[in-house]
Amino acid sequence: MLKSLKPIMVENSRIPVWLSKIAPINIYAISLGPWVFCRSFMSDVTKRHETIHFQQQLELLFLPFYVLYGFFWLVGYVKTRNGQDAYHFIAFEKEANAGEIDETYLENRKRYSWIKYIGNKDGLDND
């Protein structure tokens, strides 16, 4: 049921540009609640990546997702002292990066799949 929900895709948006001014990374696309905002046109890979984030947000009822996202980034920042490198410590990003190239990932994705990426330095699936 929730698996079939898709976010609203907004292409050619200025929101990622504006958010990049305050973020430690250059944002190309971002999932914020039921919307995904992208600087230009989204490839299928980008759509899949952001839809994975949307599904993560749904399973955590949105607000806890953002709290945990910030926490994971902070842990990465403490370890690396670099905002861009800290981004790669975020379990949500590890899952989205791993699943974005698989065209069937969203159909086969198990709930809370991001949990297996916590503390997994290389972001690889440990099944």
Confirm whether 126 is domain-assigned.
no
Res 2: pLDDT: 76
Give the mean pLDDT of 106-120. Answer: 95
Question: Does position 43 have pLDDT exceeding 80, yes or no?
Answer: yes
Q: Please state, in angstroms and rounded to a whole number, the distance separating the CA atoms of residues 69 and 62.
A: 11
Please say whether the beta carbons of 76 and 120 come within 8 A. no
Percent of the chain surpassing pLDDT 70: 94
Give the mean pLDDT of 36-44. Answer: 98
Closest Cα to residue 26, out of 35, 34, 17, 15? 17
What the block records as the tokens of 86 is: 């800290």
Confidence of residue 126 (pLDDT cuts 50, 70, 90): very low
Res 121: pLDDT: 67
More confident residue, 54 or 122: 54
Confirm whether 122 is domain-assigned.
no
Q: Is 56 exposed, middle or buried (0-12, 13-18, 19+ CB in 10 A)?
A: buried
Give the mean pLDDT of 92-116. Answer: 97
Confirm whether 123 is domain-assigned.
no
Mean pLDDT of the chain: 93
Confirm whether 38 is domain-assigned.
yes
Measured from the Cβ of residue 107, the count of other Cβ atoms closer than 10 Å reads: 9
Structural domain including 84 reads 2-117
Q: Please give the tally of structural domains in the chain.
A: 1
Confirm whether 59 is domain-assigned.
yes
Confirm whether 106 is domain-assigned.
yes
Confirm whether 103 is domain-assigned.
yes
Backbone angles phi, psi at 103, to 5 degrees: -65, -20
Confirm whether 125 is domain-assigned.
no
Q: Please state, in angstroms and rounded to a whole number, the distance separating the CA atoms of residues 1 and 59.
A: 12
Q: Please state, in angstroms and rounded to a whole number, the distance separating the CA atoms of residues 35 and 126.
A: 31
Give the mean pLDDT of 73-98. Answer: 95
